[in-house]
Amino acid sequence: MRRTLQIGQGDPAALVTSPFAAVAYAALAVVLVVAVVLRVRRRA
């Protein structure tokens, strides 16, 4: 994150506008959804 902010001259929009960031956020969302689904299935 620090390097991205340095390259983007401190602009936090650089963290969300790059294609790599979109893929990383999508992967994070999938991991979170799978974790929640598994937890709910264990309780049921």
Q: Where are the domains of the chain?
A: 2-43
Any idea how long the chain is? Answer: 44
Q: Looking at residue 1, what is its pLDDT?
A: 67
Q: Looking at residue 28, what is its pLDDT?
A: 95
Task: Give the separation between CA 21 and CA 35, rounded to whole angstroms.
Answer: 21
Q: Is 0.75 surpassed by the pTM of this model?
A: no
pLDDT one-digit tens code per residue, 17-44: 888 888 989 999 999 999 999 999 988 7
How is the chain classified by DSSP, letter by letter?
-HHHHHHTTT-TTHHHHSHHHHHHHHHHHHHHHHHHHHHHHHH-
